A = this chain, B = another copy of it.
Amino acid sequence: MIAQKYCTRSLFKWLSDDIVFISGLIKERNRLQAKEDERVMAVTIKDVAKKANVAPSTVSRVISDNPRISDATKKRVRKAMEELGYHPNVNARNLAIRSTQAIGVIMPSSAETSLQNPFFPEVLRGIGSMALETGYSLYVSTGGDDTQSFEEVKRMVYGNRVDGIILLYSRRNDPIMNFLVKEKFPFVLVGKPYKRESQITYVDNDNIQASKKVTEHLIELGHRRIAYLGGTTDLVVTTDRLDGYKQALLAAEIPINEKFIIHDEFLRSSGRKAVEKLFSFSEPPTAILVADDMMSLGVINMLEELGIECPEDVSITSFNNLYLSEITRPSLTTVDINIYSLGIQSAKSLIERLKSKDEPVKRVIVPFEIKYRNSTRALTE
């Protein structure tokens, strides 16, 4: 029926209909536009100025509480602002003062996988809380692949989107970090720089020491066949923890077995693969030093599948003390690296740097603490 109705219409009718329709649309849009404009066309500094009978510049000075303005005028202007519901436009402000009050947070490329690791939310939480306190906003890069990540950083830097950047990872020859250094863009690193250590402000744990201590613990428990399971080798944190591990072995005069050193991504799945490999050896390790709690999770899962008991057959120590390290069965002996504090400190350092250009380069070492739980036991065999 409807079809028929349309079919009987002349072309002319169609056209005129269209015209009506279009004009209707335009009208509707204008109406919306008007309402929208009402919102968008917010009150400006000029409106306030007019209302308070002063110049815009005076209003600006009132905003920044400039002492050159008399209290009487200030009061008057503030009242006008209040009445008009004035809020300064950040874009205009940023343009004029060439600053945003925002800091960028860069996750390792592919937030896809990284946001999976509670490390990042936790450090974000620390950064966020500091940002909140100091009135900064947070811009987070959302990863993608390396190229996209880089593009995002460029957008942040070149586009003046942020005043400074926090890099949530440190790896060797990271193009993003090199870029930031080259551009002399203020940034701080969470983790230890691969090189140019003295020129980069960074916040880190003493991972070498932590790893050494925890390895020593295993050694004290009588373990000698200790495996190391770390993230990709280009991450500095991985190599640092490996170093600590080696130092402890050396000090205890235990030969280093390269087969016992495995690298993969900080994912749950990597842990699983590694376990399969380690226990295919005729003399498998009696203890594993895992460089990340998420990975340990995979390890534990896989051990269970393989029918290997932890800690009876193999001891595990881990890193990060994510909340999940308490809830695994067995709960994990892990190094609490104080992630939240890493976030706080990095934000703090960055903001200090932003506030005064000649803030010196800093290194902040956040203390760690080993949490002894149930995934390790003394070797008695």
Complex: A152 Cα to B101 Cα, angstroms: 12
On whether the beta carbons of A137 and B111 are closer than 8 Å, the reply is no
On whether the beta carbons of A35 and B184 are closer than 8 Å, the reply is yes
Q: Specify which chain B residues have a CB less than 8 angstroms from the CB of A241 in the assembled complex.
A: none
Which residues of chain A in 312-370 are interfacial with respect to chain B, using CB atoms and an 8 Å cutoff?
323-324, 327-329, 357-358
Determine how many copies of this chain the complex contains.
Answer: 2
On whether the beta carbons of B129 and A142 are closer than 8 Å, the reply is yes
Q: Specify which chain B residues have a CB less than 8 angstroms from the CB of A357 in the assembled complex.
A: 29, 32-33, 36
Q: Specify which chain B residues have a CB less than 8 angstroms from the CB of A152 in the assembled complex.
A: 132, 137
On whether the beta carbons of A40 and B98 are closer than 8 Å, the reply is yes
Complex: A142 Cα to B268 Cα, angstroms: 28
Interface residue A255 (Cβ < 8 Å from any Cβ of B): no
Interface residue A19 (Cβ < 8 Å from any Cβ of B): no
Residue in chain B with minimal CB distance to A33: B357
Q: Specify which chain B residues have a CB less than 8 angstroms from the CB of A88 in the assembled complex.
A: 159
Which residues of chain A in 152-179 are interfacial with respect to chain B, using CB atoms and an 8 Å cutoff?
152, 154-155, 158-161
Interface residue A23 (Cβ < 8 Å from any Cβ of B): no
On whether the beta carbons of A128 and B148 are closer than 8 Å, the reply is no
On whether the beta carbons of B39 and A297 are closer than 8 Å, the reply is no
Q: Specify which chain B residues have a CB less than 8 angstroms from the CB of A28 in the assembled complex.
A: 358
Interface residue A301 (Cβ < 8 Å from any Cβ of B): yes
Q: Specify which chain B residues have a CB less than 8 angstroms from the CB of A125 in the assembled complex.
A: 111-112, 115-116, 142
Q: Specify which chain B residues have a CB less than 8 angstroms from the CB of A90 in the assembled complex.
A: 155, 159-161
The interface bits of chain A over 167-209 (1 if a CB of B lies within 8 angstroms of the residue's CB, else 0) are 0000000000000000111000000000000000000000000
Which residues of chain A in 107-165 are interfacial with respect to chain B, using CB atoms and an 8 Å cutoff?
111-112, 115-116, 118, 120-122, 124-125, 127-129, 131-132, 137-140, 142-144, 148, 152, 154-155, 158-161
On whether the beta carbons of B25 and A358 are closer than 8 Å, the reply is yes
- Nearest chain B CB to A298 CB, angstrom units: 9
On whether the beta carbons of A142 and B148 are closer than 8 Å, the reply is no
- Nearest chain B CB to A300 CB, angstrom units: 8
Interface residue A16 (Cβ < 8 Å from any Cβ of B): no
Interface residue A89 (Cβ < 8 Å from any Cβ of B): yes
Complex: A42 Cα to B89 Cα, angstroms: 22
Q: Specify which chain B residues have a CB less than 8 angstroms from the CB of A36 in the assembled complex.
A: 184, 357
Complex: A142 Cα to B126 Cα, angstroms: 10
Q: Specify which chain B residues have a CB less than 8 angstroms from the CB of A112 in the assembled complex.
A: 125, 129
A323 in complex: contacting residue of B132, B138, B268, B300, CB < 8 Å: B268
- Nearest chain B CB to A179 CB, angstrom units: 12
Q: Specify which chain B residues have a CB less than 8 angstroms from the CB of A183 in the assembled complex.
A: 39
Interface residue A95 (Cβ < 8 Å from any Cβ of B): yes
Q: List 25 A-B contacts (CB under 8 A).
A: A28-B358, A29-B357, A32-B184, A35-B184, A39-B183, A39-B184, A42-B158, A42-B160, A90-B155, A90-B159, A91-B91, A112-B129, A116-B125, A116-B323, A118-B121, A121-B121, A125-B142, A128-B142, A128-B143, A132-B143, A132-B148, A138-B139, A300-B327, A324-B324, A329-B329
Residue ranges of A at the interface with B (Cβ–Cβ < 8 Å): 25, 28-29, 32-33, 35-36, 39-40, 42, 87-92, 94-95, 98, 100, 102, 111-112, 115-116, 118, 120-122, 124-125, 127-129, 131-132, 137-140, 142-144, 148, 152, 154-155, 158-161, 183-185, 268, 297, 300-301, 323-324, 327-329, 357-358
Knowing that A90-B160, A128-B140 touch, tell me 6 more A-B residue pairs with CB under 8 angstroms. Answer: A32-B357, A32-B358, A42-B158, A89-B159, A112-B125, A132-B142
